[in-house]
Structure 1
Amino acid sequence: MSFVSPEFALLCLVFLPIYWSLAGHPRAQRSLLIVSAYGLYATWVPVFAWVLLAYSTVIWALGRWMQRAGAGRLPWVLGLWLAGSFLVFLKYYEFARETFQTLLQLTGFVSLLPVADWVAPVGVSFFTFQAVSYLVMVGRAPALARSWPDVLLFLSFWPTLFAGPIWRAEHFFAQTDETDSARRVGRPRHAWLALYLITLGLLQKVVLASWLSAQVVDPVYKYPDQYASVSLAAAMLGYSLQIFLDFAGYTLVVTGLALLLGYRLPVNFRQPYLARNLSDFWTRWHVSLSSFIRDYIYIPLGGNRLGWGRTQLNVLTGMLISGLWHGANWTFVVWGLLHGLGVVVQNTAKLWGMPAWPRWAAQTLTFVFVTVAWVFFRADSVPQALLMLQGLWHSPAGFWQAEQMPWWGLLGIAALVWGLSPWALRWQRLSVAWLARLGPGLGGALLALLWCVWLYGAPEGVPSFIYYRF
């Protein structure tokens, strides 16, 4: 069930008052939260809920084993191996099988590996990384191992279950362990801010991102050879805007929902298209993933402590893993490699003492690079991505056909994103303060009116989120 579906909205109207009424009974409230998470997860595929339950139980058992084993490394190594193997086997087996089969065919042999007949659970990449953070936390301090219900709650917390942000175990449990005298978990935090974030997220996803997908991006990527060069460039710009509005909109919605549950989610976006270079971009885009890659992969590989050359290799490794994490396709490998090479070039320029670019030029160049890389992220295959890029200077449909693209809508959304991005936090503070002054009656009515307008302007059906695939 999608977070932007009418059915989910109706369920929230029933669930949230019951949940808040149990704020004085933490165990009952957390039990309700666990049951609701598994029920919501089962609406996708019922067996997914059983897989998540079994997986979470194994993670809990490994944590208890580490607690009893003290400083022993066996359960810690075994736990990380099992968590990684679970993700690789479910998500990448078929990709590895097809790649291996292709390589064998080049040498005249035939692969005998069986075809995979399963579908990876929704959000497996996200809850696997959260499980890794729990195992690392307990491996470093075995006394921090949690109870079975706590682990179930952490790995099934439904605002982050399907598409993140990726929570660190220590940050999650720090909130659940707040003392009862100062306890805010289980009660709404900053209710007006939560409702503002949900409203803004719905606008970004349900209206803007969905319009870009239907009117600008999908038609071009489906038949790239039928569109002129300028239209191909417009579709690339459109996808850069779409994926930002889609994923950032999702993050805003679930951040608001988590606040209504009494939890503060980690920041996942910091206006990434204002970045001046690729390193800056990755401190702004999908922050929970980039910081996870940094702390659990890049730094353990040696980070920047083993010399300049090894640092660049570690950067490439981290970005390749980031690309593969998104999906089992060579398009994601190329996307990750492009970003890795881009950071290496940036580091090389810095080593050679090249002067810094003006802000506007640095931001423009960074955005153009990110937009070109997004072509591989969006395309179904590497040949399709190359066809899109080739069409920029040589398209069968010519260079310009104005009627192919809804220019005013595309440019209007682009102006909206870049015009408001530098002022987003200030606009948020002013809007929340204004809603609070309006009060529950008038403020609630205004938000309800905006939600109706968003739904009226949205395409038919329930739009899916891009990151649900990962």
Structure 2
Amino acid sequence: MSFVSPEFALLCLLFFPTYWSLANHPRAQRCFLIASSYALYATWVPLFAVVLAVYSTVIWALGRWMQRAASARLPVALGLWLAGSFLFSLKYYEFVRETFQAILQHTGFVSLLPVLNWVAPVGVSFFTFQAVSYLVMVGRAPNLARSWPDVLLFLSFWPTLFAGPIWRAEQFFAQTDRQRPARRVGSPRQGWLALYLIALGLVQKVVLASWLSAQVVDPVYKFPDQYASVSLAAAMLGYSMQIFLDFAGYTLIVTGLALLLGYRLPVNFRQPYLARNLSDFWTRWHVSLSSFIRDYIYIPLGGNRLGWGRTQLNVLSGMLVSGLWHGANWTFVVWGLLHGLGVVVQNMAKRWGMPVWPRWAAQILTFVFVSVAWVFFRADSLPQAIQMLQGLWHSPAGFWLSEQLPWWGLLGISGLVFGLSPWALTLQRLSVACLARLGSWGAAVLLALLLFAVLYGAPEGVPNFIYYRF
């Protein structure tokens, strides 16, 4: 069930009053939250909930083993192997099998690897990385092992279950352990801010991102040979805006929902199109993933401690993992390597003492690079991505506009994104203060009008978030 579906909105009207009424009974409230997480997960495929429960139980048992063992090395190693094998078999096995088979066809041999016809659970990449953070935390300090209900809640927390952000175990449990007389963890935090974030997220995703997808991006990517070069460039710009608004909208919605549950999510989005270089971009885009790869892959590989050349290799390895994490497709491999190579070139320029670009020029160059790389992220295959890029300077449909695209809408949305991004926090503070001054009834009327506007501008059906695929 999507967070932007009418069914989910109706369930929230029943869920939150019940959840808040249990604030003085933490155990009952925790059980209710766990049950709701598994019930929501089961709306996708009931078997997914069973798999998650078994998986979480295994992670909990490994933590208890570490707590009781003389040395945590064996259970940590076993747990990391199991988590990696679980993710690989569900998400990457078929990709490896098909690649291996394609290579063998050129040698006259036949692959004997069996076909595995199963569907990866939604959000498997996210809760697997969270499980890794829990195993590492307990491996370092076995006394931090948690109870079975705690682990169940950590890996199934429904605002972040489907598409993150990726919780660190220590961050999550620091909040669940907070017991303040004035406000327990199960009471809403910053209610006006939560409502503002949810409303803004709905506008960004349901109205703007969905419109870009339907009117600009999908038609061009479906038949790139039928569109002129300028229209291909417009589709690339459109997808840069779409994925920004889609991911920003998702982040705002789940952050607001978590606040209503009494939790503060880790920061996952910091206006990435204001970045001055690729390193800066990755401190702003999907922050929980990039910091996870830094702390659990880049630094264990040696980080920047083993010389400049080894550092660049570690950067490439981390970005390759980032690409593969997003999907089992060569398009994501190329996307990750492009970003890795871009960071390496940036480091080379810094090492050679090349002059620093003006801020505006650096931001434009970074955005252009990111937009070109998004082509591989969006394309269904490498040939389609290459066709899109080749069409920029030589398209069968010509160079200039030969078809109708909603240019004013695309340029208007792009102008909003670039114009308002530097002022996002200021607008947030002013809007929240305005809602607070309006009071409950005034804010309710304003939010109701906004909801009607969202429903009026929304496309037919329930649009899924892009990151639900990962």
Aligned-partner Cα distance in 1 for 2:192–2:175: 20
Conserved? CA contact 2:227–2:403, under 8 Å = no
Q: Secondary structure at the match of 1:128?
A: helix
What displacement does 1:401 show? 1.5
After TM superposition, list the pairs within 5 Å mapping 1:366-385 onto structure 2: 366-385=366-385
Give the structure 1 partner of residue 78 of structure 2. 78
Separation in structure 1 between the aligned mates of residue 464 and residue 265 of structure 2, nearest angstrom: 22
Deviates more, 1:443-452 or 1:212-221: 443-452
Partner of 1:122: 122
Corresponding letter in the other structure for 1:217: V
Partner of 2:131: 131
What's the counterpart of residue 341 of structure 1? Answer: 341
Query: What 5-or-longer segments of structure 2 have no aligned partner?
Result: none
**CA shift for structure 1 position 455:** 1.2
Q: Which residue does the alignment assign to 2:28? A: 28
How far residue 182 of structure 1 moved from its aligned partner, in angstroms, is 4.8
- Superposition deviation, residue 183 in structure 1: 3.9
Q: Distance in 2 between matches of 1:43 and 1:208?
A: 27
Q: Which residue of 2 aligns with 1:313?
A: 313
Cα drift, residue 179 of structure 1: 1.9
SS at match of 2:355: coil
- The 5-angstrom pairing of residues 281-430 of structure 1 reads 281-401=281-401, 403-430=403-430
Equivalent residue number for residue 250 of structure 1 = 250
Equivalent position amino acid for 2:21 in 1? S
Give ranges in structure 1 of 5+ residues lacking alignment: none
Going from structure 1 to structure 2, the CA distance change for 1:60 and 1:452 (only over 3 Å counts) comes to same
Deviation at 1:403, TM superposition (A): 3.7
Is contact 1:227-1:404 (8 Å) kept? no
Q: In the alignment, which residue of structure 2 is the partner of 1:8?
A: 8
Give the equivalent residue in structure 1 for 2:437: 437
1:374 partner SS: helix
Q: Deviations over 1:14-52 (max 9, x none)?
A: 010000000000000010000000000000000000000
* Structure 1 CA distance for aligned equivalents of residues 304 and 452 of structure 2: 51
Cα distance in 2 for residues equivalent to 1:158 and 1:402: 46
CA contact (8 A) 1:228 1:395 kept: yes
2:192 corresponds to? 192
Deviation at 1:71, TM superposition (A): 3.1
Structure 2 residue 168 is the aligned partner of structure 1 residue 168: yes
Cα drift, residue 444 of structure 1: 1.4
**Partner of residue 224, structure 1:** 224
Query: Structure 2 CA distance, aligned partners of 1:354 and 1:318?
Result: 25
Q: How far is the alpha carbon of 1:402 from its aligned partner?
A: 5.6
In the alignment, is the contact (CA less than 8 A) between 1:37 and 1:156 conserved in 2?
Answer: yes
Is residue 179–residue 185 contact of structure 2 (8 Å, CA) maintained in 1? no
Partners of 1:429 and 1:170 lie apart in 2 by: 29
- Residue 302 of structure 1: CA displacement? 0.5
Q: Secondary structure at the match of 1:404?
A: coil
2:179 match:
179
Q: Deviations over 1:126-149 (max 9, x none)?
A: 000000000010001000000000
Task: State the alpha-carbon separation in 2 of the partners of residues 183 and 142 from structure 1.
Answer: 29
- Deviation, 1:250, is 0.4
Alignment correspondent of 1:449:
449
Tell me if structure 1 keeps the 8 A contact 2:276–2:366.
Answer: yes
Q: How does 1:459-470 map to 2 (within 5 A)?
A: 459-470=459-470
Per-residue CA shift, 1:324-360, capped at 9, x if unaligned?
0000000000000000000000000000000100011
C-alpha displacement of 1:72: 3.0
Return the alpha-carbon distance in structure 2 between the equivalents of residues 402 and 410 of structure 1. 17
Root mean square deviation of aligned Cα: 0.7
Partner of 2:109: 109
Residues in 2 aligned to 1:447 and 1:386: alpha-carbon distance in whole angstroms = 44
> Which has the higher mean CA deviation after the structures are superposed, 235-244 or 401-410?
401-410
**Structure 1 residue 456 displacement after superposition:** 0.8
Q: Is the 8 A contact 2:72 2:142 kept in 1?
A: no
Instruction: Give the letter aligned to residue 223 of structure 2.
Output: Y
Q: 2:424, 2:337 → 1: CA distance?
A: 31
Distance in 1 (CA, whole Å) between partners of 2:183 and 2:91 is 39
Residue aligning to 1:145: 145
- For 2:72 and 2:219, the matched residues in 1 are separated by 56
Please give the per-residue CA displacement for 1:427-467, whole angstroms capped at 9, x wherever unaligned. 00000001000000001110111011011101011001100
Instruction: Sort the Cα spacing of 1:72 and 1:167 in 2 relative to 1 into closer, same or farther, 3 A.
Output: closer
Partner SS, residue 111 of structure 1: coil
Per-residue CA deviation, residues 303-339 of structure 1 (Å, 9 max, x unaligned), is 0000000000000000000000000000000000000
Letter in 1 for 2:133: S
2:346 and 2:32 map into 1 onto residues whose CA distance is 49
What is the one-letter code of the residue matched to 1:304?
N
- CA-to-partner distance for each residue in 1:399-418, whole Å, 9 max, x for gaps? 11164311000000000000
Q: TM-score, normalised by structure 1?
A: 0.99
Poorly superposed stretches of 4+, deviation over 3 Å: none
| Aligned amino acid, residue 412 of structure 2 | G
Separation of aligned partners in 2, 1:303 and 1:112? 38
Aligned to 1:259: 259
- The amino acid of 2:121's aligned partner reads P
Query: Distance in 2 between the 1:209 and 1:30 partners?
Result: 35
2:228–2:396 contact (8 Å) kept in structure 1: yes
**Within 1, Cα distance between the matches of 2:76 and 2:445?**
52
Are 1:323 and 1:337, in contact at CA under 8 Å, matched by a contact in 2?
Answer: yes
How far is the alpha carbon of 1:180 from its aligned partner? 4.4
State whether residues 228 and 400 of structure 1, in contact with CA within 8 Å, keep that contact through their aligned partners in structure 2.
yes
Give deviations 1:195-225, integer Å, cap 9, x for gaps. Answer: 0000000000000000000000000000000
Q: Please give the alpha-carbon distance, in whole angstroms, between the structure 2 residues aligned to 1:182 and 1:188.
A: 12
Q: Secondary structure at the match of 1:251?
A: helix
**Partner SS, residue 375 of structure 1:** helix
Matched residues in 2 for 1:404 and 1:66: separation?
63
The residue that corresponds to 2:99 in the other structure is 99
The reply on whether 1:202 has 2:208 as its aligned counterpart is: no
CA deviation profile, 1:267-305 (whole Å, cap 9, x unmatched): 111000000000000000000000000000000100000
| AA matched with 1:107 | T
Equivalent in the alignment of 2:158 = 158
Question: How far did 1:116 drift?
Answer: 1.5
